[in-house]
């Protein structure tokens, strides 16, 4: 992580619970969970970017306020290693527009999404 982006990873172990029901006999990672991984990565980034002199004891909580342009390019399969990257695009007052993407280990794009977070 630096001031311009954050990168996280997620190992899709074959025994993860969501693989059992999504889809039986042909397991894939649900798209909503890929989005959630992006949003949680953004939350870590936003929390780390808070200026210490502006924080109270608890700091502010990153809240997802808008999702646009979610595009799923291919499936995320058991055994894959995902790389999640989030970059801020623009801030307007308390709203922070961001872009996120998920790639596989080989660098193939799995999904991308634009979204907005605010700090409350």
Contacts of 28 by beta carbon, 8 Å cutoff, 6+ apart? 19, 22, 75, 76, 77
Average pLDDT over all residues of the chain: 92
Please write the tens of the pLDDT for every residue from 48-80: 887 665 555 566 889 999 999 999 999 999 999
Q: What is the pLDDT of residue 27?
A: 96
Angstrom distances, CA of residue 62 to CA of 32, 39, 49, 88? 18, 9, 11, 13
Is-catalytic flag, 5?
no
Out of 5, 22, 26, 96, which one is annotated catalytic? 22
Selected residue with higher pLDDT from 72 and 21: 72
Q: What is the pLDDT of residue 28?
A: 96
Tell me: pLDDT of 119 over 60. Answer: yes
Tell me: pLDDT of 18 over 90. Answer: yes
Selected residue with higher pLDDT from 9 and 52: 9
What percent of the chain has pLDDT above 90? 79
Tell me: pLDDT of 97 over 60. Answer: yes
């Amino acid at each position: 992580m630096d001031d311009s982006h954050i990168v996280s990873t997620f190992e899709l172990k074959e025994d993860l619970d969501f693989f059992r029901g999504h889809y039986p006999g042909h397991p894939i990672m649900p798209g909503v969970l890929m989005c959630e991984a992006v949003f949680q990565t953004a939350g870590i980034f936003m929390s780390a970017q808070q200026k210490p002199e502006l924080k109270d004891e608890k700091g502010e909580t990153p809240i997802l306020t808008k999702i646009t342009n979610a595009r799923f390019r291919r499936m995320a399969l058991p055994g894959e290693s995902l790389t999640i990257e989030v970059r801020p695009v623009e801030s307007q007052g308390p709203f922070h527009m961001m872009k996120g993407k998920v790639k596989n280990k080989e660098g193939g794009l799995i999904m991308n999404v634009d979204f907005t977070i605010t700090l409350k």
